[in-house]
Amino acid sequence: MKKILILCSAIVLLNSCSTEPKIKHLTYQNIVILSDLSSRIDNKPSKDINEILKIIDFFKNECVKPGEKIGDRSSIIFSSFSDKVIATIDIDKIKKLEDKQQFINSSGKFQSNGLNYQINDFVLKVNNSYANIRNKGLDLISVLIEKIENEPIVKKDSSLTNGIDTTYINFDNHIYIFTDGYLEYFNKNSNNQFYFGISEIDKVRQYSKINNVDIQTALNTNQSLSLTPIKNKKNQFINLHILETHERDKNDLLQTYKYPIGQRDNEILEAVWRKWAKESGFKSFEWKKY
Give phi and psi for 254, each to the nearest 5: -95, -10
Task: Kindly report, residue by residue over 22-34, the tens digit of the pLDDT.
Answer: 888 899 999 999 9
Give phi and psi for 108, each to the nearest 5: 55, -135
Of residues 131 and 4, more confidence is placed in 131
Q: Is the pLDDT of residue 6 over 80?
A: no
Of 153-157, 164-168, 184-188, the one with minimum mean pLDDT is 164-168
Structure letter (DSSP) for residue 44: S
Q: How far apart are CA 90 and CA 72, in angstroms?
A: 10
Of residues 201 and 43, more confidence is placed in 201
The overall average pLDDT reported for the chain is 91
Task: Kindly report, residue by residue over 54-104, the tens digit of the pLDDT.
Answer: 999 999 999 999 999 999 999 999 999 999 999 999 999 999 999 999 999
- E strand map for 66-118: 75-80, 87-90
pLDDT confidence of 14, banded at 50, 70, 90? very low
What one-letter code names the amino acid at 196? F
At residue 13, the pLDDT reads 46
Coil, helix or strand at residue 29: strand
Task: Kindly report, residue by residue over 249-283, the tens digit of the pLDDT.
Answer: 888 889 899 999 999 999 999 999 999 999 999 99
Range list of H helices, the chain: 2-17, 40-43, 48-58, 97-104, 115-132, 140-150, 198-211, 215-221, 265-279
Give the predicted TM-score (pTM) of the model: 0.90
Task: Kindly report, residue by residue over 109-150, the tens digit of the pLDDT.
Answer: 999 999 999 999 999 999 999 999 998 889 999 999 999 999
